A and B are shown apart, each in its own frame.
Chain A
Amino acid sequence: DQQVKQNSPSLSVQEGRISILNCDYTNSMFDYFLWYKKYPAEGPTFLISISSIKDKNEDGRFTVFLNKSAKHLSLHIVPSQPGDSAVYFCAASAHNDMRFGAGTRLTVKP
């Protein structure tokens, strides 16, 4: 029973364009949401987060949007750069219980 779902296993975009990664969750108890980035042979690293009391959080080129009614969040990367090529995991948390999605492999082509 996957409580956090990333339905797109992969995404390919051109350098300079926008990358949009999507995530859906089923448990309405989740109140904190995070995105992690993972390069090969490394552990996931934290990218950006958002609390359930907000609908948007921005950090440089990265913006996370939260739609609580739809139980959906998305990560926007603008502009995309080749160095952004990695696997992106969405995570949702409630009372220290953190669940992850299956990941989306982003490829940014020069």
Chain B
Amino acid sequence: EAQVTQNPRYLITVTGKKLTVTCSQNMNHEYMSWYRQDPGLGLRQIYYSMNVEVTDKGDVPEGYKVSRKEKRNFPLILESPSPNQTSLYFCASKQTGNTEAFFGQGTRLTVV
């Protein structure tokens, strides 16, 4: 089954404690991206990757890092989480060009 898998689904952490949210896709898509969803703001792009070892900033990259060492995986790293990073995070993947993106089920992160 074609899917994008994120882990964990829910996470509560404390300010400053490094964390990683994993994302994996099994569709051999070149393009992967991370979004955060906040009330009234929709889905805002954090980082995206056009292919292995190619990553670029989206609209809200501050406080986040990503890596793309393999085509299927695109982890999101918060080196020192802060409460304003409390949000619902979605990973997505798609073929390059004008195609639809496939989304993971989301990770609800709370930073206290």
Contact = CB atoms under 8 A, between A and B. Distances in A.
Interface of A: 2, 4, 6, 9, 31-32, 34, 36, 41-46, 49, 51, 89, 93, 96, 98-103
Nearest to A51: B98
B98 A100 contact: no
Contacts of A103: 42
Given A49-B100, A89-B43, A98-B33, 12 more contacts: A36-B103, A42-B105, A43-B90, A44-B43, A44-B90, A45-B103, A89-B42, A100-B42, A100-B43, A101-B42, A102-B42, A103-B42
Secondary structure type dominating chain B contacts: strand
Interface of B: 4, 31, 33, 35, 40-45, 48, 50, 90, 92, 96-98, 100-106
